[in-house]
Amino acid sequence: MKKYRAAIAGLGWIGQGFDLDNPGSLRLEEARSYAGAFRLHRRFELAAACDPNPGKRRSFERAWRVSRSYKTVEELLRAQRPDILAVACSTRSHAAVVRAALAAPKPPYLILEKPFCGTVHEARAAALALRRARARAVVNYSRRWLPEVRRARRLAASGTLGLPRRAVAYYTKGLLHNGCHMVDLLSFFLGRLGEPRLLKARSKEELDLAARAGGADIYLISGEAADYSLNEADILFSRGRVRVSNNGRVEVWRSRPHPWAPGARRLEPDAAFSGPAGPGSAMSRMLDDIAGELQGRKTPGGCRVEEALRTLEFCERAQRLAAEAAAKGPQSPKAKVVLLSPEGA
């Protein structure tokens, strides 16, 4: 069985840190880091990593029993020539890593952590370079890899749940840290989001927003990161409802005739979605798909760079609206009602 040589650029939390407490007893379905998932997946060999921090490199070699770690991605690519490279370094470094990877004799398959690049300008240049090089890349918006999310999306796309009506998503820890996950998820279900409208800005990253997508009004509401971490979306359709909870659990309701109110209807749970989140982490599911793609099989795939670029464009436009509002100074305390119209769809 062919194994693909995998490398990691950046040894922070997603690079290895989430799984450093128990590398010896870790199971693939529990893996939350690239190091853990590559180390345990039967189709990959964890070959090397790079990070400018020598302490993180030592931790990597000790925890994952890999003797090859490097200070820079250029050193790694010259020495190892991996089949796949996970870009898990700081977002502001992503564009430089993409350029280095494309300069390799055989560019590796790239997995880029969200939100793709540090700016829209960098992301557009990276997307163009990847397209010209015909290099394969995906951006890790993790919920797209979960089977239950995909199944609910297929159900919605089939028209079984009717027309999209409204969607509300909650996020904490900032628009570009966590909120972009919800922007991508809503895009996955409803299509490209229209222009953002600013409802309230608590800071540059904590924004309450409105937009249109798929004919539906959507709202993104920021929470307090000091209270808890939250990423949830609730989508209402004319004949049903889909909710993706914080832990990746998916719940679906169908509209049925009300048993004792003539002419009325109510939502009833779809038993096919009544269990906990499906087995296997998003990380392991992602590697299943990528291994299949590397073998030439057609797989569902995750978020492609063009889709991630649109998400980043939405977030950057929202941040620009917040900056413009802040520059105007305090507004009247009178409540402002934001009316959405189909023109923004």
Spatial CB neighbours of 298, under 8 Å, sequence gap ≥ 6: none
Residues 8 and 157 in one domain: no
* Residue at 295 is within a domain: no
Domain identity same for 166 and 234: yes
Residue 187 domain flag: yes
**pLDDT at 246 (0 to 100):** 83
Residue 321 lies in a domain: yes
CA 166/CA 37 separation, integer angstroms: 36
Nearest CA to 294 out of 84, 102, 144, 134 is that of 84
* CA 256 – CA 240 distance, rounded (Å): 9
Q: Where is pLDDT greater, at 100 or 257?
A: 100
Could you write out the three-class secondary structure of 238-287? CCEEEEECCCCCEEEEEEEECCCCCCCEEEEECHHHCCCCCCCCHHHHHH
Same domain, 172 and 237: yes
Q: How many domains does the chain have?
A: 2
**Which pLDDT tens digit goes with each residue over 41-95?**
999 999 999 999 999 999 999 999 999 999 999 999 999 999 999 999 999 999 9
- The model's pTM: 0.92
Considering the domain architecture, whether residues 99 and 171 belong to the same structural domain is answered as no
Q: Residue 276 above 50 pLDDT?
A: yes
Residues 231 and 341 in one domain: yes
Residues 20 and 106 placed together within one structural domain of the fold = yes
The reported pLDDT for the residue numbered 334 is 46
Mean pLDDT of 311-325: 96
pLDDT for the residue 128: 98
Mean pLDDT of 10-28: 94
- Pair (88, 185) in one structural domain: no
Q: Read off the pLDDT of each residue in 98-114 and give the average, rounded to a whole number.
A: 97
CA distance 288 to 138: 14
Q: Structure tokens of 102? A: 């494309």
Instruction: Determine, yes or no, domain membership for 231.
Output: yes
Helix or strand holding residue 233 (H, E): strand 231-237
Residue 279: pLDDT over 60: no
Query: What CATH number should be reported for the domain holding residue 191?
Result: 3.30.360.10
Q: What is the pLDDT of residues 211-238, one digit of tens each?
A: 999 999 999 999 998 999 999 999 999 9
Check whether residue 107 and residue 201 sit in a common domain. no
Q: What is the pLDDT of residue 298?
A: 84
- Tell me what the mean pLDDT of segment 132-156 comes to: 95
Residue 253: per-residue pLDDT: 96
Residue 260 confidence class, pLDDT cut points 50, 70, 90: confident
On whether residue 56 sits in a domain, the answer given is: yes
**Over residues 179-205, mean pLDDT:** 96
Q: How confident is the model at residue 262 (pLDDT cuts 50, 70, 90)?
A: confident
Q: 93, 113, 133 — which closes off a domain? A: 113
Lowest average pLDDT, out of 255-264, 270-279, 314-323, goes to: 270-279
Tell me, yes or no, whether 258 and 334 share the same domain. Answer: yes
Task: Examine residue 52 and state whether it is found in any structural domain, yes or no.
Answer: yes
Rounded mean pLDDT, 124-145:
96
Q: Specify whether 151 is located in the same domain as 83.
A: no
Q: How confident is the model at residue 343 (pLDDT cuts 50, 70, 90)?
A: very low
Q: What is the percentage of the chain residues whose pLDDT exceeds 90?
A: 81
In a 3-state reduction of DSSP, which class is residue 143? helix
Residues 91, 179, single domain; the answer is no
Q: Domain for residue 286, yes or no?
A: no
In this structure, are 12 and 96 located in the same domain? yes
Full domain range(s) for residue 100: 4-113
Q: What is residue 301's predicted lDDT score, i.e. its pLDDT?
A: 78
CATH of the domain at 78: 3.40.50.720
pLDDT number for residue 274: 67
- Does residue 135 sit within a domain? no
- Of 67, 97, 113, the domain-final residue: 113
Cis omega (within 30 of 0) for bond into 115: yes
Distance CA 324, CA 318 (A): 10
Q: How many CB atoms lie within 10 A of CB 292?
A: 15
**In one letter, which amino acid is 141?**
Y
pLDDT reported for residue 331: 60
Average pLDDT over all residues of the chain: 92
